[in-house]
Structure 1
């Protein structure tokens, strides 16, 4: 990777750990909240009305969803312990849960839905804690496919919103209003100075709303009628702990949707890291674990409060790339704004009064950017024909199911229409294909030892045996050993800070004419991938001479180095090209 070129091309104005001016932070946070809170409310309304719930449940559900979304958005931004990503990841009600929540409401009411959400949230905490075990299944290719399918799933809704106008309004009013929104947003995003580009979303929506107001599309009456302060008139729906037949029938569907939501969150938390720093960094999977844990916390709170589950909003990534502001403080402002919305009906009315053609036009711009971000995620580690098949088949299966083009009569009633959601169907396809590839991949050779330099003789014997079984010569075995030795020297703490004995797992397998070595250990050290990229960079943190020598040798021996850091576990993967033996 050419990091210098990447840095020069970066459009990041404020990185995740930087603090923009207070006025800019508040202004950007409020505009993001204004543009997304409508989706939080809409999902609750759809579930409530389709499931036959009462008006009091809808009132309570909207209040609880806004408050929980705000709380978890703040947690995602600031990270509390191991919960939260530490990035701007907006949280809101999840569209993936619409079908199963409607089924739960219809079969057992709000109390049954709440119980199912609580149980499935525990599964998400388990996924977060054991995410490293799923690293070969929930890959960037799978996550990128799911992110691309989010655009496919939501784009039809955006297109439909373009034409929604009250009866009696001229048909041209929707087109002119939507066009004004898109043109102003794109014009500022493409050609304005970086300082003005920060305001592209709110200026575009404001321009569209002004044009819509000229045609009478902006519902000013709703804003005037709303009170300034207020609490919901509904009440807590309770929890059903009878665990009857309806609970057991719906639990598998809730668990599966939770898995799909976790894959979406993984993709979002990887993608937000790509757009939050001027210089590209290796993905920090501890932040990914934190994002999934915060997602689980949001779902747990949603179940306890009796409202629809939440998830990360992928629009966070598109807005961050559009504005160039990735500061965590923006996420804090967005979260606080969501909480305020729960207690200020007037604020909520201002958002809900925005004409649908305006919201639809702006959503089209965001979804287009999100699709490209998903594409970049798929391509970040390169792509071969196997990855290409996984991504291509998964994507088009998702498109087909989303548009009822694949056996609609057979899948329409399956699990409450679960597979009619393109993100779910395509994501499941990509996951199953990845599992198949993993099961049928060449046998992996493993060895365990203590994580210290005394393990080097055992590692040498292991790698010599591995090279011999592959038909490689002694020179190749020496090259593998040299790469492994430098990797071990780079990972072992320089100050001996670990007094407890630790274990090392070394896994080796063949991929074509390359050897792939995977070291699994708990190190607590910095990311080797980042350190290698920054060798020779004057802006890099000073590296001890012995460590720098090891890093330079490692870069020489290995064609690629990937370092995945999880809580309590580090996984370093080396690819070493095998030199063909000399002709006899």
Structure 2
């Protein structure tokens, strides 16, 4: 193990960006990247399906998520024309869109829509909103003038905080569970939560990277010995899954489109940060025309890959930050490893048995892991805000935007007298918080006499 850590300690790379490792080193590096990211790829599907009552489609949707992530990873690493960063950068389902996607699904469900209608709307709106990021990729350097650290950090906090309620609900047993809040449910959730914390604090880098995977396995084992796993559902799973483009149809809803469009703007900025960090650990330039070309290509790939994901019945896609740590750990920055990662994702995705096994996971087990994930999202927003020198104007923008966003999520009845079309947009804490933050940032004059706080 000490030898494998030499590249990190010496700040050197075993395989640079365009090197081509042989089969076994490339395969081993690819497996570590997959272990670090696979839970994050499939978890959004499990959460959306559980919240919106789409359980019958979980194995198929997880297969679609993995296959579209594999295709996106290949495009991002290979760089096809102007599309892609051309670095070892994974593509996968994004947590950032969960709040808006769940809100969109609840709107359709509230109108009496079927599960197929819900999925058709989610994927239809995601497909159309992806054009926003595609266009923005050409102007990413100008976007930062609107989405300042104050605005971006506020939005990221509003993405994470409402999702913590979802995680806690899962720990208690899930929406509508007959044994909601039972000691068994809380015990399972705590087993996973404590395991994540313990393994994440391990001195062994591989254990830290795999902490969530290991914790979920331990949670599943605990559930098995408690008699909480039902294997009967595995009998009806097909052998192989081939994604059918727009299998559930294509529907568009403007009230669901607006929050997603805003989030695609935020996702473009997050991708810029992830790709910059990737360039740092890969010993590539972080300024100049080469860097700018990579950023524009990477953000463009994000938009294109999100369109592909929606076409293949999966949720919006984004670059992952997890694999930057794997690059630093292994000293392998070769983008050709991305082809191996993409192949592994697609191969696993082709077999729905994997999704069916994950569907067996009790809600408390999933909640124990996602509580940390969603808390991490909120903390990431706080970290962005901490990087800015906040004055009284900034504090006012943050306080107002977070207060309105979380306030509406806690007391949605405050919008009950508004027209339905407006209410459906503003009911999303991300949408109303983002609109507030952007408006205040644009129209509140900067006071150069404000002292830093």
Pairwise TM-score range, normalised by the shorter structure: 0.7 to 0.9
CA contact (8 A) 1:97 1:308 kept: no
Instruction: Tell me the CA shift for residue 257 of structure 1.
Output: 2.4
Taking structure 1 as the reference length, what is the TM-score of the superposition?
0.59
Instruction: Tell me the CA shift for residue 269 of structure 1.
Output: 3.8
Q: Is residue 33 of structure 1 aligned with residue 34 of structure 2?
A: no
CA contact (8 A) 1:341 1:348 kept: no
Q: Distance in 1 between matches of 2:182 and 2:12?
A: 40
Determine the structure 2 residue equivalent to 1:260. 263
Q: Deviations over 1:270-317 (max 9, x none)?
A: 256458746999686655534432232134335555x4651337xx44
Instruction: Tell me the CA shift for residue 217 of structure 1.
Output: 2.1
**1:138/1:360 Cα in 2 relative to 1: closer, same or farther (>3 Å)?**
same
Name which of 302, 305, 308 aligns with 1:298.
305
Instruction: Tell me the CA shift for residue 369 of structure 1.
Output: 2.7
**Structure 2 counterparts to residues 167-316 of structure 1, below 5 A:** 171-223=182-234, 225-231=236-242, 236=247, 250-251=253-254, 253-270=256-273, 273-274=276-277, 277=280, 287-302=294-309, 304-305=311-312, 307=313, 309-312=315-318, 316=320
Helix, strand or coil: the match of 1:382?
A: coil
**1:142/1:355 Cα in 2 relative to 1: closer, same or farther (>3 Å)?**
same
Q: Distance in 2 between matches of 1:115 and 1:366?
A: 27
Name which of 344, 358, 377 aligns with 2:351.
344
Q: Distance in 2 between matches of 1:399 and 1:13?
A: 44
Higher Cα Rg, which structure: 1
Instruction: Tell me the CA shift for residue 401 of structure 1.
Output: 1.9
Q: Deviations over 1:375-411 (max 9, x none)?
A: 2222324332323322332223222122226824246
- How many residue pairs end up in the alignment? 420
Instruction: Tell me the CA shift for residue 23 of structure 1.
Output: 2.5
Taking structure 2 as the reference length, what is the TM-score of the superposition?
0.74
Gaps of 5+ in 2: 1-7
Instruction: Tell me the CA shift for residue 207 of structure 1.
Output: 1.4
CA contact (8 A) 2:35 2:210 kept: no
Helix, strand or coil: the match of 1:162?
A: helix
Bigger helix share? 2
Q: Distance in 2 between matches of 1:372 and 1:238?
A: 37
CA contact (8 A) 2:271 2:299 kept: no
Instruction: Tell me the CA shift for residue 152 of structure 1.
Output: 0.5
Helix, strand or coil: the match of 1:312?
A: strand
Q: Distance in 2 between matches of 1:385 and 1:14?
A: 48
CA contact (8 A) 1:121 1:297 kept: yes
Instruction: Tell me the CA shift for residue 160 of structure 1.
Output: 0.6
**Structure 2 counterparts to residues 9-408 of structure 1, below 5 A:** 22-30=27-35, 32-40=37-45, 42-43=47-48, 64-85=64-85, 86=87, 88-92=89-93, 94-95=97-98, 96-100=100-104, 117-164=126-173, 171-223=182-234, 225-231=236-242, 236=247, 250-251=253-254, 253-270=256-273, 273-274=276-277, 277=280, 287-302=294-309, 304-305=311-312, 307=313, 309-312=315-318, 316-317=320-321, 335-404=342-411, 407-408=414-415
- When the two chains are superposed, the root-mean-square deviation of aligned CA atoms in Å is 4.5
Q: Deviations over 1:45-78 (max 9, x none)?
A: 866869xxxx89x987665554333322443455
Q: Deviations over 1:353-394 (max 9, x none)?
A: 222212111112222333332222223243323233223322
Q: Distance in 1 between matches of 2:324 and 2:373?
A: 10
CA contact (8 A) 1:159 1:360 kept: yes
Instruction: Tell me the CA shift for residue 157 of structure 1.
Output: 0.7
Gaps of 5+ in 1: 1-7, 241-246, 443-510, 514-584
Determine the structure 1 residue equivalent to 2:434. 427
Instruction: Tell me the CA shift for residue 433 of structure 1.
Output: 1.4
Query: RCO (CA 8 Å, sep 6+): is it higher in 1 or 2?
Result: 2
CA contact (8 A) 1:151 1:371 kept: yes
CA contact (8 A) 1:100 1:416 kept: no
Instruction: Tell me the CA shift for residue 180 of structure 1.
Output: 1.6
Determine the structure 2 residue equivalent to 1:525. none
**1:369/1:45 Cα in 2 relative to 1: closer, same or farther (>3 Å)?**
closer
Q: Distance in 1 between matches of 2:228 and 2:323?
A: 26
Bigger strand share? 1
Q: Deviations over 1:102-152 (max 9, x none)?
A: 667969968787665554333332222122333210122222222222210
Helix, strand or coil: the match of 2:172?
A: coil
